[in-house]
Amino acid sequence: MEENLDINNKVNNEKSENTTKSNSDEIKELSSEKDTNTVKNNGNSQSNSVSNVNIKNEIDTPVKPVIKPKKELPIEKKPFQEFINIHLIPALIEEINIRGLKVNNINLTNSNRPIAEDKCWVINCEIKDTCNFWLSFEKEDISSLKSISLSKPNQKPSIIESFLIDEKRITLKLIISRVLQRLNGQKLIGVN
Domain boundaries of the chain, sorted by first residue: 2-60, 75-185
**pLDDT at residue 20, rounded to an integer:** 47
Query: What local confidence, expressed as pLDDT, does residue 192 receive?
Result: 44
pLDDT of residue 38: 47
Q: Which residue has the higher pLDDT, 134 or 65?
A: 134
In this structure, is the dihedral angle defined by the CA atoms of residues 97, 89, 107 and 171, taken in order, positive or negative? positive
Q: Are 131 and 148 in contact (CB under 8 A)?
A: no
Nearest-5° Cα angle at 128, 101 to 154: 145
| pLDDT attached to residue 28 | 52
89 burial level (CB within 10 Å; 0-12, 13-18, 19+): middle
Pick from 2-16, 52-66, 177-191: least confident = 2-16
pLDDT at residue 180 is higher than 50? yes
User: Is residue 139's pLDDT more than 90?
Assistant: yes
d(CA 144, CA 170): 10
Pick the more confident residue, 142 or 48. 142
For 62, phi then psi, to 5°, come to: -70, 140
- Taking the C-alpha atoms of residue 19 and residue 180, their distance in angstroms, rounded to an integer, is 103
The CA-based angle 166-175-129, given to 5 degrees, is 125
Q: What's the mean pLDDT in 42-57? A: 49
pTM here is 0.61
For residues 192 and 92, give the distance between their C-alpha atoms in angstroms, rounded to a whole number: 20
